[in-house]
C-alpha cells in the first residue's frame, strides 16, 4: 500500500484520502474542529493546518523582526495547508508539529476563543469540549482581548430537542453539513458574517427531523445542546459502556453514559462502526435509554382475584416454578427484544426440559409503539426489534406470532405460557386471553405481555446485563453491562436457570461464557460477517473507558 510520511511516521493511505483521513484511520490525530470523518470537507476552522515539506513551498511575504538591525525586515515563510483538504500523494512528507504549525494552531485557537463567553461552568459540553482540550494542548495562554466580547443570541430553541447558543459557536458548520449530507434535510444554515456569524434555521422550519440529537453530537463545542441532557450531569462524572441500541433491527453501536455513583444512565451516544451505523444514531434510538429506568418491574407480581399483587421476587420465582411444573401443553414465547443468551436459555428450559411444542416470538410492530415507527433509508430499519433474527436463530424452530398464540390459547391448545420480555405487537386488550391460562412472564418493564401475565418475574433491563443482538444484516453484536441491576434482580437467562433449579431441572449454566459457548454456532457464523468492520463490531471489553471524541 502506498504510504506517506507524517512527522517521520510512515502512514498508509487509500486513493483519494486526505492527510487528516489517512492519519485518522491510522489512529493519529491532527487537531481539527470542522472536519468529521463522516461529513464533507469544509476546511473553515483552519485548526488542521500542516506544513507540507515534500513540495515546493508556497512562500508568503512577511515582515520578520531582525535582532541585529533592530527593525522589521522583509522575509518569507512557508504557507501552511489544511490537512483536511489536501489529498495525499505517494511519498508526501507532512509535518504537523514544529514552531510554524504550533504557532498557527495557537493563533487559530485564540481567534476561535476571541468572542467566546468562556462560560464553561454552565456549559454542558465542558469536559468533552474541543475548545477546552485544544486550549490546553495548543494554546495555554490567557486571553489578550480586554474589550467586551461580541454578544450573540443565546438559548435559541432550534426544535423540540436542541438548544443553540451562538456565542459558543465556532461556525464549523458540522451541524449544517450533517443535516444536508446525512439526513438530506437542509434545515440549518448560516447567516451574517464575521463576528456576527451564526447558525440559523431555514425559514419556517424547526429542527425536527429524526436525527436532531446527532447535531449535538457532531458539534465540537457547546453551541448545540440537547434539551434532554442539558444541566442533568457533568460529563466527567459519567462512565461509558459499549453497547448496542435496542431501538430497531439496525443495531447501532452505542456508548451508554452512566453515572457510576448513582448507577443512572444519562444518555446514549453513537459508537463508530463503519459496517453498521457509521458515526450516527437516530433520535428515538438515543432516547431509548429512558426505558432503562422508567416503568420498571422491580418486584414479582402475581394476579390474584383479577388484581395484580406485588410479591417478593423470590416468591415469584417459586410461583413461576409451580405453574411450569403443572403445565402439560406449555407455550414458550421468545422475545425479539432480548439477547441471544436469554432466548437460548429459554429454549433450553422450555423446549428441551419442559418439552414445549408451541413456540412463538413476541416482537414490537411499528404500530405498537407510541407515535408509531417508520424506517428510513439512513439508519432506521423498518423492523423496530433489535434481535428478531437472533431470537429466531437460537430458538432453532419456526416461531409463531403472538396473534397465533392468542388463537391457540382460545382454542385450548395451550395450558400454560412461559414468555420472555414485555414487548408484543398487540395491545393489552388484544392479549387479554393470555391470562386465561397460567402465564409466566419475565420482564424488565411494564408492557403488554407483562400486563397479561399471571406471574411476572423481574429481570434486568438492556443496560443492566451483557448480551448479543443479531441485527437485520445478520451481524451478531455483543453489548456490555453498563449499570448495576437493582438489588436482587438478575438477567433473564440467570432467572430462567434459577426457575429451572426450583423445578429440579439443572441447566448447568452459571456464567455468561458458558451460555455463549453452549449457544448454537450460529452466532459465530453470523459474527464472521461483521469481521473487518472498523472499529470492531464486537465490543465486549473496555467497559468504563471513554473513547476519544471524533
Binding mask 93-132 for other proteins (x = CB under 8 A): --------------------------xxxx---x------
Q: How far apart are CA 241 and CA 306, in angstroms?
A: 41
Q: Nearest 10 degrees: CA dihedral of 20, 21, 22, 25?
A: 120
260 binds other proteins (CB under 8 A): no
Return the range that interacts with other proteins (CB under 8 A); candidates 60-68, 80-88, 204-212, 345-353.
Answer: 204-212
Alpha-helical segments (H) within 356-475: 388-395, 402-410, 448-451
545 close to 483: Cβ distance less than 8 angstroms: no
Binding mask 215-254 for other proteins (x = CB under 8 A): ---------------xxx-x-xx-----------------
413 binds other proteins (CB under 8 A): no
Among 59, 63, 137, 155, binds other proteins (CB under 8 A): 155
154 binds other proteins (CB under 8 A): yes
Among 89, 141, 151, 413, binds other proteins (CB under 8 A): 151
148 binds other proteins (CB under 8 A): yes
Q: How many residues would you count in the chain? A: 550
Among 8, 16, 204, 306, binds other proteins (CB under 8 A): 204
Among 3, 132, 197, 206, binds other proteins (CB under 8 A): 206
Phi, psi of 134 (to 5 degrees): -75, -30
Task: Find the shortest distance in angstroms from Cβ 177 to other proteins.
Answer: 20
Report in angstroms the alpha-carbon separations of 185 from 212, 336, 376, 380.
11, 32, 13, 16
Bond from prior residue into 535 cis (ω within 30 degrees of 0): yes
145 binds other proteins (CB under 8 A): no
531 binds other proteins (CB under 8 A): no
Task: Find the shortest distance in angstroms from Cβ 250 to other proteins.
Answer: 32
Return the number of the residue (158 or 255) whose C-beta is nearest other proteins: 158
142 binds other proteins (CB under 8 A): no
Which helix H or strand E contains 317, and what residues bound it? helix 313-326
156 binds other proteins (CB under 8 A): yes
159 close to 225: Cβ distance less than 8 angstroms: no
Return the number of the residue (124 or 383) whose C-beta is nearest other proteins: 124
Return the number of the residue (204 or 513) whose C-beta is nearest other proteins: 204
Task: Find the shortest distance in angstroms from Cβ 151 to other proteins.
Answer: 6
Task: Find the shortest distance in angstroms from Cβ 378 to other proteins.
Answer: 25
146 binds other proteins (CB under 8 A): no
Q: How far apart are CA 108 and CA 517, in angstroms?
A: 54
Return the number of the residue (106 or 235) whose C-beta is nearest other proteins: 235
Give, as one character, the DSSP assignment of residue 296: B
DSSP letters for 255-271? EEEEETTTTEEEEEEE-
Return the number of the residue (120 or 315) whose C-beta is nearest other proteins: 120
Instruction: Please name the residues in contact with 351: beta carbons below 8 A apart, sequence gap of 6 or more.
Output: 332, 359, 395, 397
Place of cell 426505558: 291
Return the number of the residue (233 or 252) whose C-beta is nearest other proteins: 233
- Copy the grid coordinates of residue 308: 395484580
Q: In this structure, how many other beta carbons lie within 10 angstroms of the beta carbon of residue 474?
A: 15
Return the number of the residue (266 or 479) whose C-beta is nearest other proteins: 266
201 binds other proteins (CB under 8 A): yes
> Of 42, 266, 86, which Cα lies nearest the Cα of 174?
42
Which helix H or strand E contains 72, and what residues bound it? strand 71-78
At 345, is the secondary structure helix, strand, or coil?
Answer: helix
* Beta strands, E only, 137-252: 156-157, 162-164, 188-191, 198-201, 224-226, 239-244
Return the number of the residue (149 or 400) whose C-beta is nearest other proteins: 149
Size of the site for other proteins (CB under 8 A): 26
Task: Find the shortest distance in angstroms from Cβ 118 to other proteins.
Answer: 9
Summarize as ranges the residues that interact with other proteins (CB under 8 A): 119-122, 126, 148, 151-156, 163, 165, 200-201, 203-206, 230-232, 234, 236-237
Amino acid at each position: 500500500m502506498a504510504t506517506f510520511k507524517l512527522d517521520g511516521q510512515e502512514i498508509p493511505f487509500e486513493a483519494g484520502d486526505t492527510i487528516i483521513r489517512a492519519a485518522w484511520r491510522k489512529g493519529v490525530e491532527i487537531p481539527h474542529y470542522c472536519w468529521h470523518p463522516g461529513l464533507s470537507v469544509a476546511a473553515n476552522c483552519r485548526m488542521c493546518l500542516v506544513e507540507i515539506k515534500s513540495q515546493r513551498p508556497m512562500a508568503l511575504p512577511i515582515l520578520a523582526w531582525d535582532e541585529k538591525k533592530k527593525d522589521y525586515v522583509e522575509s518569507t515563510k512557508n504557507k501552511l495547508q489544511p490537512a483536511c483538504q489536501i489529498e495525499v500523494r505517494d511519498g508526501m512528507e507532512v509535518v504537523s508539529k514544529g514552531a510554524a504549525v504550533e504557532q498557527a494552531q495557537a493563533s487559530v485557537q485564540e481567534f476561535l476563543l476571541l468572542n467566546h463567553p468562556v462560560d464553561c461552568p454552565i456549559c454542558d459540553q465542558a469536559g468533552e469540549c474541543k475548545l477546552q482540550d485544544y486550549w490546553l494542548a495548543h494554546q495555554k495562554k490567557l486571553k489578550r482581548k480586554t474589550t467586551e466580547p461580541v454578544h450573540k443570541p443565546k438559548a435559541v430553541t432550534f426544535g423540540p430537542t436542541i438548544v443553540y447558543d451562538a456565542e459558543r459557536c465556532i461556525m464549523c458548520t458540522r451541524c449544517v453539513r450533517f443535516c444536508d449530507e446525512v439526513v438530506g434535510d437542509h434545515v440549518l444554515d448560516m447567516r451574517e458574517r464575521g463576528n456576527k456569524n451564526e447558525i440559523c434555521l431555514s425559514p419556517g422550519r424547526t429542527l425536527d427531523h429524526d436525527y436532531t440529537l446527532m447535531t449535538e453530537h457532531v458539534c465540537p463545542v457547546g453551541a448545540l445542546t440537547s434539551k434532554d441532557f442539558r444541566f442533568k450531569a457533568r460529563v466527567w462524572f459519567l462512565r461509558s459502556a459499549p453497547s448496542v441500541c435496542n431501538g430497531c433491527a439496525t443495531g447501532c453501536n452505542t456508548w451508554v453514559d452512566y453515572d457510576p455513583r448513582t448507577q443512572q444512565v444519562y444518555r446514549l451516544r453513537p459508537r463508530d462502526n463503519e459496517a453498521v451505523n457509521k458515526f450516527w444514531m437516530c433520535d428515538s434510538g438515543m432516547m431509548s435509554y429512558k426505558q432503562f429506568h422508567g416503568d420498571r418491574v422491580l418486584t414479582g407480581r402475581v394476579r390474584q382475584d383479577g388484581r395484580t399483587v406485588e410479591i417478593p421476587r423470590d416468591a415469584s420465582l417459586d410461583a413461576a416454578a409451580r405453574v411450569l411444573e403443572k403445565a402439560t401443553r406449555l407455550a414458550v414465547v421468545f422475545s425479539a427484544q432480548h439477547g441471544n443468551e436469554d432466548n437460548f436459555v429459554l429454549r433450553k428450559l422450555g423446549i428441551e426440559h419442559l418439552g414445549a411444542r408451541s413456540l412463538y416470538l413476541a416482537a414490537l410492530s411499528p404500530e405498537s409503539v407510541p407515535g408509531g415507527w417508520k424506517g428510513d433509508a439512513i439508519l432506521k430499519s423498518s423492523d423496530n426489534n433489535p434481535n428478531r433474527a437472533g431470537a429466531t436463530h437460537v430458538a432453532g424452530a419456526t416461531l409463531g406470532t403472538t396473534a397465533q398464540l392468542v388463537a391457540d390459547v382460545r382454542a385450548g391448545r395451550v395450558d400454560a405460557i412461559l414468555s420472555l420480555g414485555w414487548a408484543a405487537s398487540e395491545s393489552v386488550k388484544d392479549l387479554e386471553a393470555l391470562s386465561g391460562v397460567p402465564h409466566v412472564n419475565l420482564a424488565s418493564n411494564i408492557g403488554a405481555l407483562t400486563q397479561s401475565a399471571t406471574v411476572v418475574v423481574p429481570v434486568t433491563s438492556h443496560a443492566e446485563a451483557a448480551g448479543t443482538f443479531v441485527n437485520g444484516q445478520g451481524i451478531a453484536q455483543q453489548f456490555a453491562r453498563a449499570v448495576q441491576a437493582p438489588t436482587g434482580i438478575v438477567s433473564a437467562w440467570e432467572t430462567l436457570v434459577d426457575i429451572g433449579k426450583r423445578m429440579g431441572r439443572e441447566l448447568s449454566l452459571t456464567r455468561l461464557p458458558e451460555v455463549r459457548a453452549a449457544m448454537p454456532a450460529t452466532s459465530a457464523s453470523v459474527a464472521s460477517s461483521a469481521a473487518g468492520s472498523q472499529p470492531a463490531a464486537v465490543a465486549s471489553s473496555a467497559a468504563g473507558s471513554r473513547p476519544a471524541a471524533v
